[in-house]
Amino acid sequence: MAGRFTRQPNGLEIRGISRGSLLDHPRVEPVDEPLLVPPSSRGLYFYETIHAGQHLMDAGDDDDSTITGGSDEERRTINQSLTQSDDTIAESETSHYWSAGNSFTTGNTTERSSVYSWGDDEFDHQASQRVREMFQEIERMLFEGVLSGSISLQQECREWMVAFPHLRIIGKQLLPPCDIGQWHPVAAQSKKSSIQAPQPTNDLDPLDVDSLEVRGSSVPTHAVPSQHFHPPDQDNIYAPTSVGSKLPHLYEEIFEQDGTVEEYLAYDIREMDEEENTKRYYIPRRRRLGFPPITPNACVRDAVLHQVFDVVWNRVVACLSSDKRSKASLLKHLVQNISRAQDAQLSENLLHAAEMKDNSQLSVPTLRYPNDHRSQQIGPQNFFPENLDYEEGIYPHQLPGDRFGVQPLNPASSMMMMPPMSRLLNPDVVGLPLSRGSYFDQANSRHLPFSQGRLSTAPYSNTGDINSLNDVMKISQKKLQARSERLPLPNDDFSGGPLPDPRFSGRPLSSHFVNGSNIPGSGNPLGAMSHHLSAIAISGTPSPLATPNRPFNRDMLARQPSATARKGRGGRLARLLPLDRAKTPNIEFDGYVKATKLIPGHLEPQSTSFSGRINSPPHSFQPPPTAPNLGTWMNSRLPPISSGLESLQENTLMDFKRTRGKTAHTRIASALADEKPVNRALENMSRPNTTHTFRADNLVQKRSTSVTPSNFMFGAQGNSIGIPTLKTSSPAGAGFLATSSGSNLPYPQQSATSPDNVTGLVGITGRSINLGLGQSTSPDEEPGPPHSSWGLSSQNMSAVRRKRAVFGLI
Amino acid sequence: MEQYHILGRIGEGAHGIVFKAKHIESGEIVALKKVPLRKIEDGIPNQALREIKALQEIGGDCEEAQNVVKLHDVFPHGTGFVLVFEYMLSDLSEVIRNSERPLTEGQIKSYMMMLLKGVAFCHQNNIIHRDLKPANLLISSTGHLKIADFGLARVFDNDSGRQYSHQVATRWYRSPELLYGARQYDEGVDLWAVGCIYGELLNNSPLFPGENDIEQLCCVLRVLGTPSEQLWPGMSSLPDYNKITFPENPPIPLEEIVPDASDDAVDLLKRFLVYPSKKRIAAEEALLHAYFFTEPLPAHHSELPIPQRARKQSRHRSNFKEYDIDVPIEQSCIDPKLIAEFANF
């Protein structure tokens, strides 16, 4: 951020000095040359200006550029005189002010124009010479005791001689004093320099540093004896101990202390305004130009504003410049983008699901790992160990904590553990309210890659993408019904305690468990992978809980609306389709269709296919991401909500229509309330298993009450930009961006536990989304500015909010 | 002279014309005092020599010398020579004259303290200024007071019994012994002048504004009372003692002379304005007077008035741009038509 303010050095301007002439030119010329009086004083002044800044005026001899008139001779004279005068100054630093040594040139002034007759003619020249001689006489009297002149003068001199010691050093100062009070006697000459005997100064090296000296007395440093040192945590650090009293001065004596003292290097203006008299610090705005922000907050604010401006400005320029939209108002355009983004998000979710299906199908051939091949043939019961191996093989670098996610592989234990664990550890799965922001963040991070992948297939290798599919999966909800249908009673045992809500009855089988197992590793993006695998394993487990393979399959199938449609549940289909059409492109439908084919028959193959897909290089653009997505997919299946489809649909529709999540919250509650009775009835369960993709969203809602479709949308918006953020780590925001993003994505739930609490990163991504979204969604547009990184720490939240305001204005 | 760029003329003193100039090399503003030699055959006048020597000997960068004007350079020029002093914005006489409101006691103390420091420094170096007066006490742009114009300064020797000219000092600030034509005197003449300056600061008007030497003596005697041999030992031996006699005249209490002054101030003033030169409080001693250690304390130099030279004042107008409210608003706003295309929703 500081880079924005590059200060231009205030260079000294040296005019009229030609290049290269500075070094090789003799500094002082022999003084016995005839001195000419330049007719015009302007040239002289010009030289004087140069002289003022640098002692390089002698270089002016070679100068051919700017001297205003005058012959070479003249110029040299000027140079000479200047040089001489320089020496005069130097000498004046000594005690003989009027020594005639080199200062004769003072008579050669050119100031004829002066009313006060500073100039002098030949007579004046002689007179000044005479005066100089007189001064020399006086000096001789004072310093050498050579009496001359009038008696009164002699008397006067004697008085001064008596009163003050008179010592002098005669010579020409070669180095002009760089500082008043600093005196560099350089090689004092035995003889005073004079006109007749000019001192050669060619040997002068202005860069000579040898004469520098450092004065003072060195103080030896002693290490503090160890016994006097007290670790800071000790109370007596400030007080000299009995033992360490030898160094009392090292201890700060504190008579009284109240609170803690913090030192700040910089203060924010806001604080000053609050505490200090504002008048005192008021500076007219026009005078504040050019001062970069110094205080941390100001820097952050400034950086944020500039980032915002960049993004906004790109949009604005795009709007204004694009042919089609040039006439559309900016606001309109933005609104369009936003709405489009929302639609796009939905469609993208569907698309993603479709892609997943495709991948799952295709993944088998691309498997890299032998385990996968084996796993295919392994029955569900045998699969678990293999799966474990497989995971390890895939992610050898996985952290030990991540492996915890593998633990659930033991079907029984996992099943047993799941409900409590999920509730405790995995807020995502459990009903813990997620902050909108956090959810957005997840959604954003997950969503973006897909949209991007579709548009540009740009590789998003960031870890943040890993979870990107989770939300998508959440969106798809079909399995709920299938679940409810076939859920065995034992499941109720698991869910019953913590969650009285009948909806959760189906959960034990659901991916929630899987997630729960992953919880410890949730921080790691790879954890999602493990999830997915474990989920698969669970699905394959022979355990009584999991016994109904069909439900699983059905859930899976249920997810894809197309699949359901194919199954011939006409009534369902009719309902679902309109929604789907409205929100999703046809392409996605196709993908779903494919998926349906796969799922129904073979559970194990599917699982294998998933695993394979995870590894498959062709989908490298979402290497880790896919895994989490799968996991989420499983999750989505898990939420065994038996709620009526209608209500769900309504909810989804309503929520989607809402632009903002605030209302959504209330909405959600009501929706849930509505659903409950339905669930109890279980009538829905008996119904055909078909669901529509939107149902997943509802499921998500229910799991985390705070998460609402509206949130989803919001997140989706955020998505598009959220990832660019990750990708492009600008020097300014990159630092915490990377960290925060990395941490946030793996721990979406943790980052924001309360709906109101929006962490900086989340909020920011959501923010940026709005702008970037249009770009990402619409292929014809250019991709969003890569530099739009919203690296913001939690501190920046205020700034972020301001940004929001800015956006709102736009 | 080439090192200096003449900026203007400051004034014309008894010894020459004073110019304001800028030292080109350092950018320092200096005062050039051009001292002509009327008759070059006479050589360098003692006056000039004294000023140069005095300032050379006692001038400098040391802290003690900070209340003495600094002589940067001396160089011959034409039929004369030029003294280069540090540039001083104003002098104490202008401060007294121009200050719209009387100086506060703190400010007076501050000036007096600086004056006494300078005088003490001179006296420590056995230099008598002999021409102390407000006009010779220059005020820098930072408010500092510095003693200038050492043209009458002399090295004095207490033991030599050497005779000096009594035609020194400006009349109003001339000490009684000088008025009586004393040829032997000491730094007491400076201290008397300090007392006069002090009274002038307190009263905002000269303490002894004599029209001529005799009237000057009258003024002094009227205030201090007719001196007697008892009061002023050696008075009768002064050269001009017998030339003029004054009627007996009781002294006027100084409290009446400086009615607004505090007790400490009057007390200090009394210590300066005494007939016997040796009894006048020395500058160093005066600096320790209670006057400087009682409230109000001497003002910081930044709190002192800095009179601008009237001529230059107008030139330093604020040159930053002000927004003109008289300019039609159309000229300072964007034409709505230009953005109308983008403004219709």
Q: pLDDT value at position B293?
A: 92
Would you call B131 a catalytic residue per the annotation? yes
Residue B200, pLDDT > 80, answer: yes
Ranges A154-158, A479-483, B255-259, most confident: B255-259
Residue A47, pLDDT > 80, answer: no
Residue A693, pLDDT > 60, answer: no
- Integer Rg of chain A from CA: 43
Helix, strand or coil, per DSSP, at residue B20: strand
Chain B, residues 210-239, CB within 8 A of chain A, namely: none
Triad B114, B120, B123: Cα angle to 5°? 145
Answer for the pair A800, A763: CB distance below 8 angstroms, yes or no.
yes
Going by pLDDT thresholds of 50, 70 and 90, the confidence category of residue A531 is very low
Is B320 within 8 Å of chain A by CB? yes
Residue A695, pLDDT > 50, answer: no
Which residue in A208, A190, A169, A195 sits closest to A28, CA to CA?
A195
Residue A577, pLDDT > 80, answer: no
Q: Give percent of chain A with pLDDT exceeding 90.
A: 0
Q: In chain B, what residues touch A164 (CB-CB under 8 Å)?
A: 53, 57, 125, 155
* pLDDT mean over B185-203: 90
| Inter-CA distances, A142 with A138, A247, A655, Å | 6, 56, 103
Helix, strand or coil, per DSSP, at residue B76: strand
B33 is in an annotated binding site: yes
Q: Which two tokens stand for residue B305?
A: 């008035």
Among chain A residues, the shortest Cα distance to B62 is held by A181
Residue B269, pLDDT > 70, answer: yes
Triad A718, A721, A724: Cα angle to 5°? 145
Task: Say what angle helices A709-727 and A468-475 make with each other, to 10 degrees.
Answer: 160
- Integer Rg of chain B from CA: 25
Q: pLDDT value at position A662?
A: 41
Going by pLDDT thresholds of 50, 70 and 90, the confidence category of residue A601 is very low
Residue A714, pLDDT > 80, answer: no
Task: Out of A118, A150, A162, name the one closest to residue B1 (CB).
Answer: A118
Cα–Cα distance, A136 to A192 (Å, whole number): 11
Cα–Cα distance, B9 to A118 (Å, whole number): 12
| Exposure string over B45-68, b if 16+ CB within 10 A, otherwise e | bbbbbbbbbbbbbbbeeeeebbbb
Residue B258, pLDDT > 80, answer: yes
Is B163 within 8 Å of chain A by CB? no
Answer for the pair A438, A759: CB distance below 8 angstroms, yes or no.
yes
Cα–Cα distance, A636 to A628 (Å, whole number): 12
Going by pLDDT thresholds of 50, 70 and 90, the confidence category of residue B301 is confident
Q: How far is A274 from chain B (nearest CA, A)?
A: 28
Q: pLDDT value at position A344?
A: 54
0.85 surpassed by complex ipTM: no
Which residue in A635, A708, A188, A210 sits closest to A443, CA to CA?
A708
Q: In chain A, what residues touch B152 (CB-CB under 8 Å)?
A: none
Count other C-beta atoms under 10 Å from residue B326's C-beta: 5
Going by pLDDT thresholds of 50, 70 and 90, the confidence category of residue A161 is confident
Residues A65-101: pLDDT tens digits?
Answer: 333 333 344 444 444 444 444 443 333 333 344 433 3
Residues A373-408: pLDDT tens digits?
Answer: 444 444 444 444 444 444 444 444 444 444 443 343
Say if strands B137-139 and B80-86 run parallel, antiparallel, or are unpaired.
unpaired
* pLDDT mean over A326-332: 57
* pLDDT mean over A423-440: 38
Which residue in A625, A596, A603, A601 sits closest to A613, CA to CA?
A625
Helix, strand or coil, per DSSP, at residue B75: strand
Going by pLDDT thresholds of 50, 70 and 90, the confidence category of residue B194 is very high
Residues A210-267: pLDDT tens digits?
Answer: 566 667 777 777 776 666 555 444 444 444 444 445 666 667 777 777 777 665 555 5
* pLDDT mean over B163-179: 81
Q: pLDDT value at position B272?
A: 92
Task: Say what angle helices A330-366 and A586-601 make with each other, to 10 degrees.
Answer: 30
Residues B58-103: pLDDT tens digits?
Answer: 877 777 788 898 888 888 888 788 889 888 888 888 888 876 667 8
Helix, strand or coil, per DSSP, at residue B138: strand
H/E segment holding residue A317: helix A296-321
Cα–Cα distance, B59 to B54 (Å, whole number): 8
Residue A781, pLDDT > 70, answer: no
Which residue in A633, A413, A421 sits closest to A531, CA to CA?
A633
Q: pLDDT value at position A209?
A: 53
Cα–Cα distance, A319 to A45 (Å, whole number): 57
Q: How many CA atoms lie within 13 A of B63 on its CB side?
A: 0
Determine whether B284 is exposed, middle or buried from the number of CB atoms within 10 Å of its CB (0-12, 13-18, 19+): middle
Determine whether A212 is exposed, middle or buried from the number of CB atoms within 10 Å of its CB (0-12, 13-18, 19+): exposed
Ranges A338-342, A597-601, A628-632, most confident: A338-342
Most A CBs within 10 A among B20, B42, B77, hence the mutation to make, goes to B77
Task: At A696, give phi and psi (nearest 5°).
Answer: -50, -40
Dihedral over alpha carbons A437, A769, A647, A516 (to 10 degrees): -50
Considering Cα of B137, then B140, then B145, then B148, what sign does the dihedral take? negative
Q: Which two tokens stand for residue A782?
A: 């250019």
Cross-chain Cβ contact A150/B43 below 8 Å: yes
Dihedral over alpha carbons B296, B301, B305, B311 (to 10 degrees): 170
Q: How far is B53 from chain A (nearest CA, A)?
A: 7
Q: Which residue has better confidence, A702 or B37? A: B37
> How many CB pairs lie under 8 A apart between chains A and B?
154
Q: Which residues pair with B19 in a beta bridge?
A: B9, B32
